[in-house]
């Protein structure tokens, strides 16, 4: 009888472990989080194993503009778009503001221009330092733009945006605690072995948004992607297929399975 009990206990333990493993394997990458009274959607993936890709133009050479267009292209190629979000700032023609590399090809060069304006009125892209989120043979990384250009890593995908939110574990010193410059914001962080994307559901300032990445998400480096009407998320599991008020998005970053 004792051996039977032990056998049943072992079987139950194995079943429980199997269920937990299956739940973890099928856990959705995006979920709501709160930080200091503000609501966010945070998507977490493995920095080295996830199939993250950048998308800009469709097969006709025109900007995708909508998440649904990217989802359709991925499905046509036999894949599934798990989630997607705006991958950086873009011009009125939906072209990237700065460096853009897709499938190893540099489609737009790095933008090292300087805007002549007071810091408070500078377009976000030009606030220093800005940076590059990229994927190479080792996984996902973020570097300040000048450092990226000095190193010239062999990137399969890369998008330039800015400003940097967190740099080697420190907040970008240009951010002001309690700033009234508040809007919806989106960004990406490298957090140990994970990549974490976050969009705010309400208005936040840069300082608080950067602290989300450093203090809650434990990211050593993080980069601002876009704000205001350019913030959006595609995630069928959450019922999200956001539309930009600009008439569409420029570069789009997505997780493919």
pTM over the 0.85 mark: yes
Q: What are the tens digits of pLDDT across the range 105-131?
A: 999 999 999 876 555 578 999 999 999
Q: What are the tens digits of pLDDT across the range 7-24?
A: 444 444 444 443 333 333
Quick check: 221 pLDDT over 90?
yes
Closest C-alpha among 191, 190, 86, 192 to residue 144: 190
Closest C-alpha among 242, 241, 164 to residue 209: 164
With a CB cutoff of 8 Å and minimum separation 6, the contacts of 63 are 56, 57, 93, 94, 95, 248, 250
């Amino acid at each position: 009888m004792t051996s039977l009990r032990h056998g049943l206990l072992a079987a139950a333990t194995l079943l429980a472990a199997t269920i937990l493993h299956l739940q973890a394997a099928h856990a959705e990458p995006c979920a709501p989080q709160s930080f200091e009274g503000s609501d966010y959607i945070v998507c977490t993936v493995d920095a080295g194993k996830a199939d993250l890709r950048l998308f800009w133009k469709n097969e006709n050479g025109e900007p995708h503009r909508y998440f649904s267009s990217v989802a359709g292209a991925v499905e046509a190629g036999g894949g599934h778009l798990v989630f997607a979000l705006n991958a950086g700032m873009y011009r009125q023609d939906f072209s990237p503001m700065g460096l853009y590399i897709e499938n190893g090809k540099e489609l737009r060069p790095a933008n090292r221009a300087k805007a002549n304006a007071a810091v408070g009125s500078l377009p976000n892209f030009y606030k220093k330092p800005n940076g590059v989120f990229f994927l190479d043979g080792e996984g996902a990384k973020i570097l300040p733009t000048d450092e990226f250009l000095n190193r010239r890593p062999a990137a399969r995908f890369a998008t330039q945006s800015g400003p940097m939110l967190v740099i080697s574990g420190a907040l970008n010193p240009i951010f002001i605690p309690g700033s009234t410059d508040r809007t919806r914001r989106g960004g990406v962080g490298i957090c140990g072995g994970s990549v974490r994307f976050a969009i705010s559901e309400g208005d936040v300032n840069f300082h608080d948004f950067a602290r989300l990445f450093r203090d809650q998400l434990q990211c050593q480096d993080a980069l601002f992607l876009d704000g205001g009407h350019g913030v959006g998320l595609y995630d069928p599991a959450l019922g999200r297929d956001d539309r930009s008020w600009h008439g569409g998005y420029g570069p789009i970053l997505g997780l493919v399975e």
